[in-house]
Structure 1
């Protein structure tokens, strides 16, 4: 029996379910909300219960989108043991974005191929239980404020070193939406909570305290007084001189301004509690307030999005800095969600960070993680399959080590398992040899490359002809090992297609 027929509990958490096997009967009942089941913001508890049964009992694995990526082990007999499980997602919100450029119309052989892949990938994400049980769709929270409030309340906005209250002219030409706030100004708190009390919904109940997409740049006395280590007169003088000289990074002289934002979130919460005693505030650890606060204590109703300053290559120094950042915000008392950009890296090239990703994910799970939001899923399954499978599996099992997950992926290649593992190990070694100095050397001859959006311009400095030739040799060995096993052979051919695309 499924869903309502099995007695689904309406009061369950989003996407939660009960799976019971008793005698010859199977009962799967979960919280199922109205809406399209493939939408990740629609609770599909019964569906998740079915997936749990398929994985736990039949050993089904979803390697990548589509039929070829669906691994169903052969079995002469099916034995379903007695079970009685009540399960809910380990994380309240898990998301791998793939809209925008990732689903654009350019580059497809035809519109039907695009539509099929998008559908198959939605199914794949759902089978990995990616789900937004709560909404984190808040974004930068004050982008329209300057247009609406500058004339009547200029004090809401950053005081620049030249004494003006405007968007920094050296940052994207001074766009109004990119101005930072004077977060210590009491009127900012009052106005935000006024808006929140009028606009909040059951789906988006939290106070949005996320600054605009810029650094904290206010040098007014109120904001400086809120900083954990206020800028000295000498530092302010340097900031003013740098601003006057047209240096875009003048704000670095202010040091970390995390405490002013932490105090801002606490002030928002205090004001919101007058309306709702359980009010929760969301903010970002970002830009020049990415470091943990020095003096401000937060609480569990302050939710902070950590945007790691970590992109490929995953060096030990970068990872240690990220863990220090995460541990500091966790120790400050906030609940945290992971909002990285590093999955944008790599284009269609076989970069590898499965091991590092799992180790760091295990760490954040043990230190206050409640949600994830990855920007973005580039869908390079043929080139980055082990890493992307690890990424998806961790959303459901945040405490699993990489090797447990990778064993599932490699095991689906049957007689070619060992040969495909050798192929994956090549990319592990290649990526392990890359550090920032490697990229710096490549950039000397290709200065336009380097960022995630232009990685393809420098990829040949990593994936050299010799490396690609070795990859081809290893896949040829995997093809031979697959022999006459048709599914294993087709999966090896899928990897060959990924390698050809990278080449």
Structure 2
């Protein structure tokens, strides 16, 4: 019953075709009995290192479940193996009750189990009288050759009951039982989304390193605590691989003109955007320089550069995406302005959307590049001042668009972005989703939960031209935003999943008897996020003491319910660390708002002292998170991203006595 329940949750639309009458009449297979392995994992001849790793992952988890040692062998290790009446027969003297076949090989061929009907990244899970086949296309699907790995991860979730809620052993759910039996299965599935990517933002980098130092730690400390937090008993390939993120559209993308200023500023200053002061100086943001996109000599140069890149690359695509951010403005020259239709959408600052001028720029590059490489794809962005759909111009047919819209902290903009998706998806042959939605709250680390809206939008986009994703980024705020990451990953594999069933499974798997209270906690946080979006509040606003106390109440109930369930109790404590961090972080902002509501002006000595005490406490709590719950909140990124704001209230470092107390430990 447990196996059937899980499969119903994960594959509701496929269930009817997944179990044939013949399969339901087959035997229940035994993988382990009384703690002893009764199965062997078999790889095909010539198995790759990736296949061997996948076999080891399955063996490790089976051992963690029952305590038995499971061998991983290759087909040639089986003596004279053959198939008779869909049963594997071997002359080996060592008895094997069940053969677990990973990947396509001689035995799967004899059993009639192949990947022939699967697309890239597809999986087949099928049981036979004494065997389980777990496979997917490999080299035959170069854009996504890891189907066998996906099949193993699906099997471990659906048939073994494992879960990977967040990285590290605490986030792993591995049921304990001495006997492992598997009910009949005949399941195949190919993911609809060809590229499934969530950037995991694992590196340290300059920004995070700056935050680490603000917390009073070193880069070496970061690597130590991060590595320790990620350790798991069983190999798993990492959280992203577990959730079957993967596949590739083989489209080069990204901001592609960061080199232009340093390379061309002296000989061709006219190639750069005219600034409000009349100059074309980009020195304030040299790596994010703006271009004069009407300049034909510039267009010729970029086209030559992209043709040369294609000549040297095995990819059939190049990026022509503009730089974003920085401290310079878009071009104000007369020729660029002539490219902006008078009826362009007005932006928040009052100026027109610049989409049509950029489509002119992209089209002119594409026209020249495709004269040499007619099948090449050129990737650009629907983002920034060129996020609105074009008014007059049509895109060159070889241009693919990365759509960067959608937000869950501004409902008005979300509705506009949904309309923009529809328009862009009709204007191009290839469009993929490159949102910043997971970055919400990265500079604060506080809770932002939006899983119902995410599921609604994801399902819609998947049914309206979406070919792939590239989410920026999982920021590793697992105690405050981890449910978003989990649901997002699951929707990548199957965008039609029932989000309420996913939430129930997440809570039940991870929090046991505390599931109901934890679910109420998450739903209340989602209500708060909806309020932020509808009223366009700052992320720190809707957490007054009364709300924090209400949220604590849910976690108190969960803690009481899981008192006799050690793993679930620790996971509740993990969530609580995120809430207590939130309380410490927003405390100073409450005082800021009190001061502003009273008219602002010069800070009284008493107010300054209250702010310093709150920010000192935030520093201490953040350090505690860094050391003891490293994955709960990415405090290093927060320290980089928002602590500069505290300077206006005369805080840049903790009080000497606070720092001395910490250093004396």
Same-fold status (TM-score > 0.5): yes
What's the secondary structure of 1:58's corresponding residue? coil
Deviation at residue 203 of structure 1 after TM alignment: 5.5
Summarize the Cα distance change of 1:340–1:420 in structure 2 as closer, same or farther, 3 Å threshold. same
The residue number in structure 2 matching 1:245 is: none
Summarize the Cα distance change of 1:265–1:12 in structure 2 as closer, same or farther, 3 Å threshold. farther
The residue number in structure 1 matching 2:547 is: 467
Query: What CA distance in whole angstroms lies between the structure 2 residues aligned with 1:345 and 1:265?
Result: 30
What's the secondary structure of 2:400's corresponding residue? strand
What's the secondary structure of 2:240's corresponding residue? helix
Q: What CA deviation, in whole Å up to 9, does each residue of 1:358-398 have, x standing for no partner?
A: 22222222222222222221212222232221122222222
The residue number in structure 2 matching 1:352 is: 449
Matches within 5 A, 1:377-416: 377-412=474-509, 413-416=511-514
Query: What CA distance in whole angstroms lies between the structure 1 residues aligned with 2:343 and 2:412?
Result: 27
The residue number in structure 2 matching 1:432 is: 530
CA contact (8 A) 1:95 1:132 kept: no
Matches within 5 A, 1:211-360: 211-213=322-324, 217-229=330-342, 254-298=351-395, 301-308=398-405, 310=407, 314-346=409-441, 347-360=444-457
Matches within 5 A, 1:161-180: 164-167=279-282, 174-180=284-290
Q: What CA deviation, in whole Å up to 9, does each residue of 1:149-183 have, x standing for no partner?
A: 3444444333456654443xxxxx64333332232
Deviation at residue 50 of structure 1 after TM alignment: 0.7
Deviation at residue 467 of structure 1 after TM alignment: 1.6
Identify which of 58, 77, 85 aligns with 2:160: 58
Identify which of 475, 495, 498 aligns with 2:575: 495
1:368 matches 2:465: yes
Gaps of 5+ in 2: 1-100, 584-665
Aligned length: 454
What's the secondary structure of 1:68's corresponding residue? helix
Matches within 5 A, 1:63-212: 63-72=165-174, 78-83=181-186, 85=188, 87-88=190-191, 90-100=193-203, 104=208, 106=212, 111-118=223-230, 123-131=238-246, 133-135=248-250, 138-160=253-275, 164-167=279-282, 174-200=284-310, 202=313, 204-212=315-323
Summarize the Cα distance change of 1:229–1:332 in structure 2 as closer, same or farther, 3 Å threshold. farther
Deviation at residue 111 of structure 1 after TM alignment: 4.1
The residue number in structure 2 matching 1:417 is: 515
What's the secondary structure of 1:217's corresponding residue? coil
CA contact (8 A) 2:275 2:329 kept: no
Query: What CA distance in whole angstroms lies between the structure 1 residues aligned with 2:464 and 2:519?
Result: 32
Deviation at residue 25 of structure 1 after TM alignment: 2.1
Q: 62-71 vs 42-51, which deviates more?
A: 42-51
Q: 114-123 vs 44-53, which deviates more?
A: 114-123
Query: What CA distance in whole angstroms lies between the structure 2 residues aligned with 1:485 and 1:431?
Result: 30
Query: What CA distance in whole angstroms lies between the structure 2 residues aligned with 1:178 and 1:68?
Result: 41
Summarize the Cα distance change of 1:176–1:493 in structure 2 as closer, same or farther, 3 Å threshold. closer
Deviation at residue 51 of structure 1 after TM alignment: 0.8
Deviation at residue 221 of structure 1 after TM alignment: 4.8
Summarize the Cα distance change of 1:309–1:382 in structure 2 as closer, same or farther, 3 Å threshold. closer
Q: Which structure is larger by alpha-carbon Rg, 1 or 2? A: 2
CA RMSD of aligned residues (A): 3.5
CA contact (8 A) 1:183 1:260 kept: yes
Summarize the Cα distance change of 1:189–1:81 in structure 2 as closer, same or farther, 3 Å threshold. farther
CA contact (8 A) 2:343 2:391 kept: no
The residue number in structure 2 matching 1:37 is: none
Summarize the Cα distance change of 1:501–1:217 in structure 2 as closer, same or farther, 3 Å threshold. closer
Query: What CA distance in whole angstroms lies between the structure 2 residues aligned with 1:160 and 1:183?
Result: 14
Summarize the Cα distance change of 1:270–1:502 in structure 2 as closer, same or farther, 3 Å threshold. same
Q: What CA deviation, in whole Å up to 9, does each residue of 1:173-201 have, x standing for no partner?
A: 64333332232333333322321222235
